[in-house]
Structure 1
Amino acid sequence: MPGKFITIRFLEFKGFSAKRYAFAEMGRSLVNGWMADGLVFSKQLGTGAGNGFSVLPNFGLYAWLGVWESPAHAEQFFQHDSRWLKLIHESTNISGWDAVPMKGKGTWNGLQPFDFSEGETDWDGPVAVITRASIRWFKSLLFWWNVPSASKHLEGKQGLKYAKGVGELPLFEQATFSLWESARNLDQFAYQSKEHAPMIKKTRQYDWYSEEMFVRMKVVKLVSSQWSVVSGQ
């Protein structure tokens, strides 16, 4: 059953012990996936150094994505799941958002876990985006050669509140989570940005990816006060 509710969390860790625990939990998640009532799909993801778009890892920041049957299932998990509570106990800060999927395409590890039945409803509040891809191993060098210039195009874009490059496996499994003030700001970047178009052209030209996914969601709750946008709900 595709999920109707999305939760994205960024967890920060400070100190060697906490970072070691988070790194070990990241490895554990690749073997022993997260399980909970109503959890349709989940990923624990590492981040890159700097703005996240780097081959060098940031051992102090991890992302967690959950796709749920309902908000009630997510709330139950975050309040009572022992594995989650242990992880956040080691962290120093948690931020992120709750959202409802609006539209998307593609797959993640062969799965399409999002329910887009609400479709393109009118929404005046903030929106978030997941872009994710598996990079063909023999084209990874070419891809990462182009990433620094591409990531700079996001910096300072009107309406962009947050963007972070994340991944499951270094170099080959990459995604971007981004938060925007409105769908209008996102569309201006996606469809009108002169800097964004060349990267799209290169993607098609070089056929970097063996799998791609794009998901747009309407944000119904912000978990952290660090982003000065107001929920549209």
Structure 2
Amino acid sequence: MTQVVSLSFFRFDTWRARSWALGQMGLARGAMRRVPDIGFWKLCGSGTGEGFTPLPNAAVYAILATWPDLQTARARLSQAAVFSRYRAQAAEDWTVFMSTSTVRGAWSGICPFSPCPAADTTGPLAALTRATVKPAILSRFWGRVPDISRVIGTDPNVMFKIGIGEVPWLHQVTFSIWPDAAAMANFARTGPHAEAIRAVREEGWFREELYARFTLLGDQGSWGGRSPLTDTRQSEAA
């Protein structure tokens, strides 16, 4: 079997729904542990704007999970009570399903993703980075992030991008979808992002870090009234 990673996003429009979602960051943990077949999972909030800011966004939350295969992932997300409750409260939700192409590093002390040797690395891909920021360098880290956010926000190649995390300020997860590896590498190796990577290496900003790339397997739901993978499907059909 090939491990499948799901990343679900939920948008909450009313303050009542947003208060509910904030409470679930603690209250939903027991329910998540009881979901059959679930492996590694994390409940995450998001940042304002594109998510790459230190200011929390009360409207958007995310759930990352791993599953033994795609069929199981789709079934559990459809049937498990905790995911149903999130969908019932949310104004909009979207889930992307992926298999891991490459991964290095650790998240909460383990490597949660299992690479698939047969993963397709030639087409559109997703990238995820996760870091635990050392408290002593928080101001320097978040001082860099707005410049990176502006660049990725204007990059015509990025199909989807968001910043999420388990704990505001200390934990940062970036997730983005690109049409191909070349487009992603061009962003990563130039401008503010490249400068920040050099600072990370030279000054040791992170206590823990993980980098992963994924092959896209499919999605369900919508974000902003459409699937962010629409452009992917159109390019494959051309």
Q: Which residue of 2 aligns with 1:94?
A: 93
CA distance 1:30–1:170, shift in 2 (3 Å): farther
Q: Which residue of 2 aligns with 1:211?
A: 208
Q: Which residue of 2 aligns with 1:147?
A: 145
CA distance 1:144–1:195, shift in 2 (3 Å): closer
SS in 2 for 1:100: strand
What is the distance in 2 between the residues matched to 1:159 and 1:36?
A: 36
Q: Which residue of 2 aligns with 1:74?
A: 73
- The Cα shift of 1:93 comes to 0.4
Superposed CA offset, 1:147-199 (max 9, x none): 111222212224201111101111101110111122222122224x2443211
What is the distance in 1 between the residues matched to 2:140 and 2:186?
A: 27
Q: Counterparts of 1:11-30 in structure 2 under 5 Å? A: 11-29=10-28
CA distance 1:209–1:78, shift in 2 (3 Å): same
Q: Which residue of 2 aligns with 1:229?
A: 231
User: Residue type matched to 1:213 in 2?
Assistant: L
Q: Counterparts of 1:137-176 in structure 2 under 5 Å? A: 137-176=135-174
Q: Which residue of 1 aligns with 2:84?
A: 85
Q: Counterparts of 1:97-116 in structure 2 under 5 Å? A: 97-116=96-115
What is the distance in 1 between the residues matched to 2:206 and 2:17?
A: 34
Are the aligned partners of 2:99 and 2:116 in contact in 1 as well (CA < 8 Å)? no
Superposed CA offset, 1:106-137 (max 9, x none): 00000111111426x44443211110000011
What is the distance in 2 between the residues matched to 1:15 and 1:130?
A: 29
CA distance 1:122–1:74, shift in 2 (3 Å): closer
User: Residue type matched to 1:131 in 2?
Assistant: T
CA distance 1:140–1:230, shift in 2 (3 Å): same
What is the distance in 1 between the residues matched to 2:2 and 2:28?
A: 20
CA distance 1:158–1:16, shift in 2 (3 Å): closer
What is the distance in 1 between the residues matched to 2:57 and 2:191?
A: 30
Are the aligned partners of 2:147 and 2:192 in contact in 1 as well (CA < 8 Å)? no
Superposed CA offset, 1:75-133 (max 9, x none): 221121112101110001012311110001000000111111426x4444321111000
SS in 2 for 1:66: strand
User: Residue type matched to 1:229 in 2?
Assistant: D
CA distance 1:122–1:69, shift in 2 (3 Å): closer
Identical pairs, percent:
26
Are the aligned partners of 1:126 and 1:229 in contact in 2 as well (CA < 8 Å)? no
User: Residue type matched to 1:230 in 2?
Assistant: T
Q: Does 50-59 or 153-162 show the bigger shift?
A: 153-162
Are the aligned partners of 1:99 and 1:218 in contact in 2 as well (CA < 8 Å)? yes
- The Cα shift of 1:31 comes to 7.0
CA distance 1:117–1:124, shift in 2 (3 Å): closer
Are the aligned partners of 1:38 and 1:70 in contact in 2 as well (CA < 8 Å)? no
- Aligned CA RMSD, in angstroms, stands at 2.1
Are the aligned partners of 1:39 and 1:68 in contact in 2 as well (CA < 8 Å)? yes
Unaligned runs of 5+ in 2: none
Are the aligned partners of 2:18 and 2:59 in contact in 1 as well (CA < 8 Å)? yes
- The Cα shift of 1:29 comes to 4.1
What is the distance in 1 between the residues matched to 2:29 and 2:132?
A: 16
User: Residue type matched to 1:25 in 2?
Assistant: Q
If each structure's helix is expressed as a fraction of its own residues, which one has the higher value? 2
CA distance 1:70–1:199, shift in 2 (3 Å): same
